[in-house]
Structure 1
Amino acid sequence: MKYAVVTGTSKGLGASIAKLLLEASVNVIGLARGENQELENADLPGKYKHYQVDLADMEQTEKTFENIISFMKKQPIESLQLVQNAALVTPIEQVGKQDAAKLTAHVHVNLLSPMVVTNLWLNAWRDSDFSLVIANVTSGAANRSVYGWNAYGSTKAGLDRYTNTVAVEQEKLQTGNKVFLFDPSIMDTDMQREIRSADPSQFIDVDQFKNYKTENKLRETDVVAKVLVDRLLDEESIQNGEYYSVKDILK
């Protein structure tokens, strides 16, 4: 059977990814702070199982993934994919005016959680007879400095370097595992609403992001998710260590 574990499935891109995978007969294990009743009650070819977890809490994150691994070890697995999509954009604020607790949660969700989970995941399936696919959702903010996005850009840049390094290690170890980055570009999500609600003193590009909405330049999450899911459903096409951007597919 085909399985995928997707973080951040309560809404937005994560929910869209999960739905499209379920429609393609992939069994999905979703993780989020909140539930997604639509996915849990969906009558689709794939089965959905949900775990409520706060990925900012490392103890809770480790325990949850240990439980998932224990569950998965009892299943007949044909293929297993991990999509690390969950992320925070807040705090949007200049350095010198930030709350340490919010910064800590931000780094935990965006960077430390994917590192901890990947470590657990690769160790758990070390002796399996199938290769793993791990997709980490990144952002163009990883490659440019944006006023007010010091935390977001830094954690996404860290995720990019981490993903590339894991890919190098897996290549050298000849595991057959594939680890890659997916850049969804700008979408119509709650994260975008958070960005648009920022004060110009916190985020000087806020008007540009308001224009994205008014000018209908934000893609729907189902459209973006299809680009990634099409790739995931064709594992042979995935290149270990690749940077896969929606902008290269949807012109």
Structure 2
Amino acid sequence: MKLTEHLTLLTGASRGMGLAMAEQLIDAGHSLVCISRKTNDALAARAAAAGVPLEQWPQDLGRAEAAASRLGGWLATLDASGLKSVTLINNAGFIPRIAPIGDIPAAEIAEGMRVDLEAPMLLTAAFLHATSSWNAARKVLNISSGLGRRAMASQAVYCAAKAGMDHFTRCVALEEAQRPNGAKVCSLAPGVIDTDMQVQLRGADPASFPDIGNFIGMKESGALASPEEAARRILAVLARPDFGTNPVADVRD
């Protein structure tokens, strides 16, 4: 892979907000590695037309050890001397069954925690280790959620994972502040976005999900940002010179 000056590694890039970020990063000339369950042919065509390097790695992030191992090994092979920046965006997310915790099968609880918390931790560890001696600006952006900062019934798994992501990011920020060319890290809540997750929330059983009316109301009132607009806001935060000053932030701040 012949790199441009900026390399971005992005999970969950095959659809929704992740796809919108991938498209905008390609348009900005970033070399891009996408880690998702599926590849996206339209994204590959867009990168080819723009002459921008793109790799797509089909990967189940519920089994993130393999993805982290591949990422670390791949980064170790690169000549990073021409890079100005290298960035990891942990965007992939999974909402298990919307129900009280006692009504969710153990396998779904475990899957939610693996995709939403374990995978970002493993990928971040691999990224930071492999790039520790690089001179390029190093950044880690973890896509969090307002639900990591607000408890909600029938969302215990997702809320817990995102709260864990926030606190994990705080810890990493303290570690990286002690290192030469330490990475700038941030766990960012992206606002409410019109994605498949919102469809899933609006389609939940009202008897099991007391907050369903709020999600229906946001859709009906036009309060949801499009994936494209949300992606623009997130990438604008990532490009700010003070990125990482607040390790836990909200795009609406």
> How high is the TM-score relative to the length of structure 2?
0.91
Rounded Cα–Cα distance in structure 1 between residues aligned with 2:228 and 2:190: 11
Aligned to 2:17: 13
> How high is the TM-score relative to the length of structure 1?
0.92
Shift of 1:72: 3.8
Cα 1:97/1:82, change in 2 over 3 Å? same
Shift of 1:75: 7.9
Mapped contact 1:143–1:157 kept (Cα < 8 A): yes
Aligned to 1:61: 67
Matches within 5 A, 1:17-32: 17-32=21-36
Identity score, percent? 26
1:141 aligns with 2:147: yes
Matches within 5 A, 1:14-93: 14-42=18-46, 43-44=49-50, 46-70=52-76, 72-73=78-79, 76-93=82-99
Shift of 1:70: 4.3
2:100 aligns to what SS in structure 1?
Answer: coil
236, 239, 247: which one aligns with 1:242: 247
State which drifts further: 210-219 or 159-168. 210-219
Shift of 1:241: 4.1
The amino acid across from 1:237 in the alignment is: D
The amino acid across from 1:5 in the alignment is: L
1:121 aligns to what SS in structure 2?
Answer: helix
Aligned pair count reads 247
| Cα RMSD after superposing both structures | 1.8
Rounded Cα–Cα distance in structure 2 between residues aligned with 1:74 and 1:159: 28
Rounded Cα–Cα distance in structure 2 between residues aligned with 1:208 and 1:180: 28
Task: Give CA deviations for 1:165-217 in whole Å, capped at 9, x if unaligned.
Answer: 10011112343310012111110001111111110122111122112112211
Task: Give CA deviations for 1:18-52 in whole Å, capped at 9, x if unaligned.
Answer: 11111111111111101211211102353322111
2:99 aligns to what SS in structure 1?
Answer: coil
State which drifts further: 182-191 or 172-181. 172-181
State which drifts further: 5-14 or 63-72. 63-72
Mapped contact 2:80–2:134 kept (Cα < 8 A): no
User: Any stretches of 5+ residues in structure 1 without a counterpart?
Assistant: none
Mapped contact 1:140–1:185 kept (Cα < 8 A): yes
Aligned to 2:200: 194
Aligned to 1:230: 236
